A and B are shown apart, each in its own frame.
Chain A
Amino acid sequence: DTGVSQNPRHKITKRGQNVTFRCDPISEHNRLYWYRQTLGQGPEFLTYFQNEAQLEKSRLLSDRFSAERPKGSFSTLEIQRTEQGDSAMYLCASSLGISGNTIYFGEGSWLTVV
């Protein structure tokens, strides 16, 4: 499978705990995106990387959220001190860094904070 891979697919955590999601983009894709999607809504942009540089962050990305992409390959999204409002699907996507290229999404990582 050469698509975007996300792990874990599902995570249930207690409020206040930290969680980390991993995304492996399509190889040779230099752009990597993180989106969040809640039930019945469209995906909302969180952040994106061009290679290892984090170029844009949404206001949705509070100080409890941090994303990294060391070496410009896989990426991690960490949520510290989780809150019930963080319950959502976290989607990763990748593309070749040219405007107009298709952005490919992974299957998402479901987070439930109890």
Chain B
Amino acid sequence: SQQGEEDPQALSIQEGENATMNCSYKTSINNLQWYRQNSGRGLVHLILIRSNEREKHSGRLRVTLDTSKKSSSLLITASRAADTASYFCATEETSGSRLTFGEGTQLTVNP
């Protein structure tokens, strides 16, 4: 079963706008990771945030983590058409060493 739930399931924006995706999870975690997947391709790791971190930045990406609410958000600023992809959050639970993925958010950036 899926641990995380992404919201929204689909998001369509114009190039240059910001995109925000949210992820909620259920159990205690060691870390949360965000991945990107282009259609029919493998997953590309974007960013990892540990349970004792609250915010992390990488280029145009900003991730927040609220362990009290068991939620995370991924913000992509100044989006580009090339950002069109599915975005998944994945959690590494304290009880195990594997990642459990959510259902993903399909982001479409219109030129």
Contacts and interface: CB of A to CB of B under 8 A. Distances in A.
Contacts of B42: 4, 91, 105-108
Interface residues of B, number: 26
Interface string B20-53: 0000000000110101000011111100101000
A35 B99 CA distance: 10
Contacts, number: 62
A103 B30 contact: no
B97 A99 contact: yes
Interface in B52-81: none
A45 interface: yes
Contact of A100 (B40, B50, B103): B50
Given A31-B97, A100-B50, A107 B88 contact: no
Nearest to B6: A42
Interface residues of A, number: 27
A99 B30 contact: yes
A107 to B, nearest CB: 4
B110 interface: no
A39 B86 CA distance: 12
A43 interface: yes
A28 interface: no
A104 interface: yes
